[in-house]
Amino acid sequence: MIFSKKKNPVDLIFSFITSVASISVILITAGILYVLFTESSLSIEKFGFFKFLTLVDWDPVKESFGAAAALYGTLITTVLALIFAIPVAVGIAIFVTEVAPNFLKGPVGIAIELLAAIPSIIYGMWGLFTLAPIMAKYIEPFLQKTIGKLPLVGILFEGTPLGIDLLTASMILGIMIIPFTASISRDAFNLTPAVVKESAYAVGATKWEVVKDVVLPYSKLGVFGGVAISLGRALGETMAVAFVLGNNNQITTSLLDAAATVTVKLANEFTEADKDIYLSSLYYLALLLFVMSFIVLAIAKFLILKAERRSNR
């Protein structure tokens, strides 16, 4: 509404300021994309798109760079983190909105939000000094002795458990994204009209049935939204995983093996990247992550929009 018919000067200034603010977001995003693209042009020229995408090698000495291992690590940790986080987060949200007595709702809600406020570097340090030793000593040997013995799944738990691996990194990521998913889901659950829920209770539905058949279908959009936001966060999370993933450039089937993600690679190698092609390849990785996050979030947004339209009908 930049040129509204009413020419009230205050209104004009106001709408001008808000439009500048929102346009700047688009400009900044475009600017970042532009810089990433120009900085990585050297590497794009040398390796091309498909070769860079599929090459597992990452050798700064011989100047051979490929993104496959880092992209693989990024996807695996993100998916695993979502698998860990979604059930817990939705459980928390259901507890807070439907199950918990009133005096508990406040404290639990605040605790979730505090979890979201912890800087990621602290998760990283905690992961390195506390979680990794626990994983290496107790949890991973236990997993190897139990599910590791099963056929097929067994290959997921091979190797010496050292605590610096995909599993530990995914768990930390999972813990980090729980609060986002949980608090958005909680808000979504709260939007379920009380009348609908009370009617369900009135016809004799149990609490489980109300949650399953009334609250969840009613608010699945909000839950989707929460998951999408956590997904974005998990894809780009850096410091929390940089300490516990080892930055080993390899594609591994075992979750107890060190690996690398795009962000971990950038955080670890950016400062000392001394050759132009090396730096350019790191920028190329960043560009791929940018595009990947963009696509994933676009898909998530698309799904939400589609579901929204269906429910409006």
Partner 1 sequence: MKKILSLILALAVVLSFSMANAEETLNGAGATFPYPVYSAWAYDYHKTTGVKLNYQSIGSGGGIRQITNRTVDFGGSDNVLTPQDLNKDNLLQFPAVMGGVVPVVNIPGVKEGELRLDSEAVCKIFLGEIKQWNDKKIKDLNPKLNLPDKEITVVHRSDGSGTTAIYTHYLSGACAAWKDKVGYGTSVKWPVGIGGKGNEGVANYVKRTANSIGYVEFAYAKQNKLAHTLLKNPAGNFVAPSFDTFEDAADTADFNAKNHFATWLTNAPGKNSWPIAGATFILLAKEKKDSNMKTVKFFDWAFKNGDAKAKELIYIPMPKSLKDKIRAYWKANGIY
Residues that bind partner 1 in the complex, under the rule CB under 8 A: 57-62, 128-129, 133, 136, 160, 162, 164, 242-243, 245-249, 258, 264, 267-274, 279
Q: Shortest Cβ distance from residue 57 to partner 1 (Å)? A: 8
Between 165 and 214, CB nearer to partner 1 = 165
In the complex, what is the shortest distance from the CB of residue 286 to partner 1, in angstroms, rounded to a whole number?
Answer: 15
Cβ proximity to partner 1, 203 vs 274, nearer residue: 274
**Sign of the alpha-carbon dihedral angle for 68, 73, 78, 80:** positive
| Closer Cβ to partner 1, 109 or 257, answer by number | 257
Are 303 and 227 within 8 A, CB to CB? Answer: no
Rounded to whole angstroms, the Cα distance separating 120 from 223 reads 23
State in angstroms the smallest separation of the CB of 282 from partner 1. 10
Please, what sign has the CA dihedral across residues 194, 196, 200, 203? positive
Q: Of 24, 26, 50, give the one whose Cα is nearest residue 284.
A: 50
Least distance from partner 1 to the Cβ atom of residue 271, Å: 3
Nearer to partner 1, 190 or 268 (CB): 268
Cβ 278 to partner 1, closest distance in Å? 8
Radius of gyration (Cα) for the chain, nearest Å? 23
Q: Quote the CA–CA distance of 305 and 156 in Å, as a whole number.
A: 36
| Nearer to partner 1 among residue 109 and residue 163 (C-beta) | 163
Q: What is the dihedral of CA 89, 114, 268, 30, to 10 degrees?
A: 80
